[in-house]
Amino acid sequence: MQDLLDSALARIEASQNLADLEAVRVEVLGRKGVLAQLSKDMGKLSGEERAARGKFINQAKQTLEGAYDALKTKFEEAALAARLDAEWLDLTVPPAAAITSPAPGKLHPVTQIQWEIEDLFRSMGFTVLDGPEVETEHHNFDALNIPADHPARDMQDTFWLEGGWLLRTHTSPVQVRGMETLGPPLRMIAPGRVFRNESVDASHEHTFYQLEGMMIGREVSVGNLIYFMKTLLSSIFKRDVTVRLRPGFFPFVEPGFELDIQCLICGGSGCPVCKHSGWVELLPCGLVNPHVLRMSGIDPAEWNGFAFGLGLTRLVMMRYAIDDIRWLQSGDLRFLEQF
């Protein structure tokens, strides 16, 4: 029996890989292996012989399993080391030549126009302010003279959140925060993303961009408003554009105006972008309502000003002759790479 143990041990040690080792294990230690066969014959032996054979089988099993486990661990460690060598990546090595000079990224057209406007207004003494997209009802409505029962709320379909919070429907809340924080005199603009719970079509999106502007000072007039709006439009479009100023109703300005621009997509003949009217509403504006000033802690007897709200997304559409607002949020690189 010792010869049998020595032979099995030699076969285990001679295995060249895990497959060879497993084959020897099955033949020697398996349910039909050599040791199993020795166990089957024990019933024919005497008590003394049975005890001796049982002791031998247990010792042989321990010896063979120990040799098997040690060699199996060696093979597994070698296989792991080989796999790690094959998969190892030196992150300090410069990338392949094909990607050492990746194509530079590009600014979204909305960002391009926003930065142009920011530079323009900074040159005229305006501060660029930012504010939260998740707003309070007070800043989004109440402080802008739009109380809960005001019909103007019906004009802005709101995404309401839990706890009375909401996604801002315009960037006007930043004007309120600017007046509360900085006080007069004040020149500020507030570009940003806004949200409306409305149907999407060629000229309407549930997520789009606006830019609010405000000037608070002494003896500010409609003439000041018109000057800054003409300066803005001529700077953006790099040419004279046809505009019209008509009365408009907005709770936070009095008097209020709608500054429309003749559609640059169709030249005024009518298209889906301008709803076939030939005109695009671009700049709601007016003189700040005294009640709005008062709610922000500013004395309307001493200070007055103008405010405007620019449809930044629509301005981009006019600038680049984009006939569908949905392209701007599509993430389609074929579209965006044109800019």
Residues 39 and 183 in one domain: no
CA count, 13 A, side-chain hemisphere, 161? 12
Domain for residue 102, yes or no?
A: no
Residues in the chain: 339
If asked whether residues 175 and 228 sit together in one domain, one would say yes
Residues 175 and 286 in one domain: yes
With respect to residue 287, please indicate whether it lies within any of the assigned structural domains. yes
User: Where does a domain end: 30, 54, 87?
Assistant: 87
Co-location of 118 and 257 in the same domain: yes
Q: Does residue 306 lie in a domain region?
A: yes
Both 198 and 73 in one domain: the answer is no
Last residue of one domain, picked from the residues 87, 117, 139: 87
pLDDT along the chain (339 residues), means of 10: 68 79 75 67 68 72 78 84 82 65 78 92 95 93 85 73 90 94 94 89 85 94 88 81 83 89 83 84 88 93 93 85 86 84
Residue 42 has a pLDDT of 65
Q: Is residue 93 part of a domain?
A: no
- 78 and 187 both lie in a single domain: no
Expressed as residue numbers, the domain containing 206 is 109-336
Q: Is the same domain home to 114 and 68?
A: no
Contact predicate 260/314, CB 8 Å? no
Question: Do 69 and 125 reside in the same domain of the chain?
Answer: no
Give the DSSP H or E segment for 278: none
Computed over its alpha carbons, how large is the radius of gyration of the chain? 40
The pLDDT of residue 290 is 94
**Residue for token pair 């997520």:** 207
So what's the pLDDT on residue 135? 94
Cβ count within 10 A of residue 305: 26
Q: Are 71 and 184 contained in the same domain?
A: no
* Assessment of whether the complete model's pTM goes beyond 0.75: no
Same domain, 142 and 290: yes
Dihedral angle over CA of 170, 128, 236, 314, nearest 10:
-10
Tell me, what's the pLDDT at 134?
Answer: 95
249 domain-assigned: yes
- Overall domain count for the chain: 2
Residues 141 and 250 in one domain: yes
Question: Are 269 and 302 part of one and the same domain?
Answer: yes
Nearest in space to 74 (alpha carbons), one of 84, 86, 66: 66
Q: What CATH number does residue 120 fall under?
A: 3.30.930.10
- Picking from 87, 119, 142, the residue at the C-terminal end of a domain is 87
Please indicate, yes or no, if residue 322 is contained in any of the structural domains: yes
Residue 7: per-residue pLDDT? 72
pLDDT score for 44: 66
Residue 164 main-chain phi, psi, to 5 deg: 85, 0
Q: Which amino acid is at 259?
A: L
Give the model's pLDDT for residue 14: 78
